[in-house]
Amino acid sequence: MTIDDRHEPPAQYELRAEGRIVNRLEQLERDNRRLRRYTSTMLVVVAMVLGLGAALIWYSVRSGLPGSPMTISAHQFVLRDSDGTMRGVWGLGDDGAVRLVLNDGKGRQRVRLSLLHDGSAGLSFADSADRKLAVFGLLPDYTTNLALTDPAGIPRAVLGVSPNGSSNLVFADRSGSTRAGLGVDSRGLGTFTLADQEGGGAREELLDTLQMDQADSVEAPASPPSSPPAKGRRTNRSQ
């Protein structure tokens, strides 16, 4: 209130005060409308940014962003079904071996692919009791083996190739004893071995027979001396 206001008549003073109040209300309304416009504009901008972000994420997941890395680094990947059962594992073990394991619907290992630190590789197929029914192996010295077992887990047939060029196909009975063998040694000589029931009583390790021609890696003389066949075996060797 100024000095001039105090000397004005009451009616004129009230009109002046009412005019100031009206002006302030109008200014508040203008500010309020301006604030609403700013708020609406910000909401639209935020919605557009969120929409663009969602579209960008969807596109990157579907086809990948240009220049984005296309690899994922991890120590192990685990695959689970809708019930939470582990159906597969791909990872690096503590021994440095890389393994891919596939499980059945009950989480039992059925297929295993392994690569050891020294380069040895193996592929095996197992039954529900984790008995290996078929095993394929590759050693760093280029030895390859394919072993087939019966439901009891006993090797019954083995096919192998040695680094010296010899190859063998060996058959065993239910006890794991070698009963028949067919092969070609490093000199190119074919061999056929058949064990009778009496001579094959002693149990032999079937997998060890794959190494029977390792000594042939040294060049043999032109006419090697003949040696009698093993007891209880009938051997035929042809050039």
- Give pLDDT tens digits for 134-186: 999 999 998 999 999 998 888 899 999 999 989 999 999 988 888 899 999 88
What confidence score (pLDDT) does residue 68 get? 56
> Is residue 207 pLDDT above 70, yes or no?
no
Query: Which of 55-69, 128-142, 210-224 has the least mean pLDDT?
Result: 210-224
Please name the CATH architecture into which domain 76-214+232-238 falls. Alpha-Beta Complex (3.90)
CB within 8 A of 59, min separation 6: which ones? 65
Look up tokens 């695959």; give the residue. 79
Query: Which of 22-26, 64-68, 74-78, 101-105 has the least mean pLDDT?
Result: 64-68
Q: What is the residue-wise DSSP string for 61-106? A: HHH--TT-------SEEEEE-TT--EEEEEEE-TTS-EEEEEE-TT
Share of the chain above pLDDT 70, in %: 71
> Is residue 224 pLDDT above 80, yes or no?
no
Measured between its terminal Cα atoms, the distance across the chain in Å is 132
- For the chain, the structural domain boundaries read 3-63, 76-214+232-238
CB within 8 A of 64, min separation 6: which ones? 70
What confidence score (pLDDT) does residue 9 get? 62
Query: Which of 52-56, 62-66, 82-86 has the least mean pLDDT?
Result: 62-66
On average, the pLDDT of the chain sits at: 76
**Tens digits of residue pLDDT in 70-105:** 677 788 899 999 888 999 999 988 888 999 999 998
What confidence score (pLDDT) does residue 122 get? 93
Token couple for 62: 């579907």
Q: Residue 69 — very low, low, confident or very high, per pLDDT cuts 50/70/90?
A: low
What confidence score (pLDDT) does residue 221 get? 34
206/161 Cα distance (integer angstroms):
14
What is the pTM (predicted TM-score) of this model?
0.52
Q: What is the mean pLDDT of residues 200-213?
A: 41
Tell me which residue of 92, 209, 211 sits closest to 141, measured CA to CA.
211
**Tens digits of residue pLDDT in 27-48:** 888 888 888 888 888 888 888 8
Check: CB of residue 98 under 8 Å from CB of residue 84: no
